[in-house]
Structure 1
Amino acid sequence: MNRELPGTLMSIGEFSRYSGLSVRMLRHYAERGVLAPAEVDEFSGYRRYAPGQLQDAGRVRMLRDSGCGIPAIAELLPLFDSPDMLRLRLQSHLDELKAEARRVAEQQALAVNLLGELEARARRLDVVERTFPALRVLYLRRTVADYPSEGALWVNFRGPVAELTSHDPEAFGDLGGATYFDDEYRDADVEMAIWREYRGASVPDGYEVVELPEQRVATVTHRGGFETISEATATAGAWIADQQRTRTGPIFNVYVHGPGRDPNPENWVTEVNVPIAV
């Protein structure tokens, strides 16, 4: 911080013109102890600034424009006399800005997705009652941190699928999905299984071959990214309640056209299935 205040003192208006900070903001900074005037007339209350304070004013403006609030400006301004410490603190601020940018980008993506879903929301999602066929599947059941962690399970699944397919190109069928075993929605420690229709004989370590039974299900087809898939689940739940039907097993999704085939979420098609009593 510039502590030398030589030269003729300037009125707050003149200092404002040269510093690029409005009179209102100069008064605000002074009240917060960030950039105090060099002199305040005890009778008139007029504030005067020294030419040497213009450098500090420029630094305040740069810190403000880089996203620093007043507490951060007050902390960082004296550190211009200690460049190493300032560099570390500015790097920390930059890391915070990057994290905030990622959060905003995620919120923007969700907002775009929600806008795209407005038309779909205007159309009533249909519930189809059908019989889901019995399936023999390669099955990986785990308790994971949260629902988005399902993606990591599918990444792990790719290795065994590639290995088994290299020996038998016909080992897998077209159907794949995920089953969710918790009766309630959980914020953490979610028990789920991912699976693919399987005709092969080999069973990799940590996996199972499971015979899924034929089931009567209420199915809602969701189109788009997974951010709004809860609408399909809610639609199925409302239908079951309205029809006075009974859920008989864990909800499961079938990924008709998903991220494994197409990176564009606009093209994804997921069937949400709720097993129901006949």
Structure 2
Amino acid sequence: MPEDLITIGELASRTRLSLKALRLYGNRGLLPPAEVDPRTGFRRYGPAQVERARRIMLLRAAGMPLTQIAALLDAPSEEALHLLTAYWRDQESTHAARRQAVGYAREILNGRNPAIYEIAERHVPEQQVLFIQRHVNAAALPGFLASAPDQLFAHLRTTGACLSGPLFAIFHSLVSEESDGLVEVCAPTLNTVSPAGPIGLRIEAAHREAFAALPKQAGGFASMAAAHDAVHAWLVEHGHRRSASNREIYYPNWATAGPDEHAADVAIPFVT
């Protein structure tokens, strides 16, 4: 064994990472050893792995998921800094959204009716929509909301069709940390299209809905949940009855909007 190579135990001692974590990182390709003994399977690590392990430890301490750490560490230094800045900007936005949700919950626990969200009404005409459905919990929801539009857009391009309005997600049942809920991502279009594979086609009925317009920074799960509650409370207060499932509307600027820009609505169809 070359003199500068060390065992996994020594690497753990130098980096304060556990043996379990080091093996996990190695198995996932995040921290491959410099050398593996073909006879014993013992892993050996060099200075490059020590430095990489140190960076993994720092990024994990900041809460970054392993998949994002892998992309960051394998990127050129300038791009890596950009990825780290983007990650932390998202974390700050999520924290701000949770702070607002906690403020809303505090008012509810104190028996007050908080006026954090301004609720309005509008008429939504009948529209044809392509849709994808999936049962997801809170952890899987962001991934589904990111992947489903790509599938819908690809189908629209293949058929030569265009969007006729913003994408929206319908929550047919509650999505939480503990339970899966049925979520449907919809893409409205005026063109003639056909269903394909997991993509369905239907007519969304015209309806009246109450809604709260939200800035991008309120797009986290916690603040969205508070907005759903606020719109429902408005319906109860005004003597209206829910006529269809809750939904979230995502405007075209969703990916690029600044923290305070209007980027989404939470809406509930109702009848009087």
Q: Does 1:98 align with 2:59?
A: yes
- State the distance in 1 between where 2:158 and 2:124 align: 29
Q: Which residue of 1 aligns with 2:233?
A: 238
- State the distance in 2 between where 1:108 and 1:269 align: 17
- State the distance in 1 between where 2:123 and 2:244 align: 14
Q: Which residue of 2 aligns with 1:203?
A: 195
Shift of 1:241: 2.1
* Structure 2 gaps, min length 5: 1-5, 19-53, 65-86, 102-113
Shift of 1:239: 1.0
The change in CA–CA distance for 1:89 and 1:263 in structure 2 (over 3 A counts) is farther
Aligned residues of 2:254 and 2:264 also touching (Cα < 8 A): no
Q: Does 1:277 align with 2:238?
A: no
- State the distance in 2 between where 1:195 and 1:176 align: 6
- State the distance in 1 between where 2:142 and 2:99 align: 25
Identity of aligned residues (%): 14
Aligned residues of 1:257 and 1:270 also touching (Cα < 8 A): no
Shift of 1:216: 2.0
Pick from 239, 242, 251: which aligns with 1:256? 251
Aligned residues of 1:172 and 1:200 also touching (Cα < 8 A): no
Shift of 1:193: 0.4
Shift of 1:86: 2.1
- State the distance in 2 between where 1:248 and 1:147 align: 28
Q: Does 1:139 align with 2:131?
A: yes
Aligned residues of 1:257 and 1:267 also touching (Cα < 8 A): no
- State the distance in 2 between where 1:229 and 1:138 align: 24
- State the distance in 1 between where 2:144 and 2:155 align: 18
Shift of 1:172: 2.4
Shift of 1:142: 0.7
Which digits, 9 at most, give the CA deviation of each residue in 1:200-256, with x for residues without a partner?
323221110011111121111111231223332232122122223222221011112
Pick from 2, 5, 10: which aligns with 1:86? 10
Q: Which has the larger radius of gyration?
A: 1
Aligned residues of 1:144 and 1:189 also touching (Cα < 8 A): yes
- State the distance in 2 between where 1:89 and 1:149 align: 38
Q: Does 1:155 align with 2:138?
A: no
Amino acid in structure 1 at the alignment position of 2:166: L
Pick from 176, 180, 184: which aligns with 1:186? 176
Shift of 1:114: 6.4
TM-score normalised by L of structure 2: 0.58
- State the distance in 2 between where 1:210 and 1:234 align: 28
Q: Does 1:216 align with 2:208?
A: yes
| Partner secondary structure for residue 242 of structure 2 | coil
Matched residue count = 193
- State the distance in 2 between where 1:263 and 1:131 align: 25
Which digits, 9 at most, give the CA deviation of each residue in 1:118-170, with x for residues without a partner?
xxxx97532112222111100101112326524434324314423532541x4
Aligned residues of 2:122 and 2:209 also touching (Cα < 8 A): yes
* Structure 1 gaps, min length 5: 1-82
Shift of 1:98: 2.8
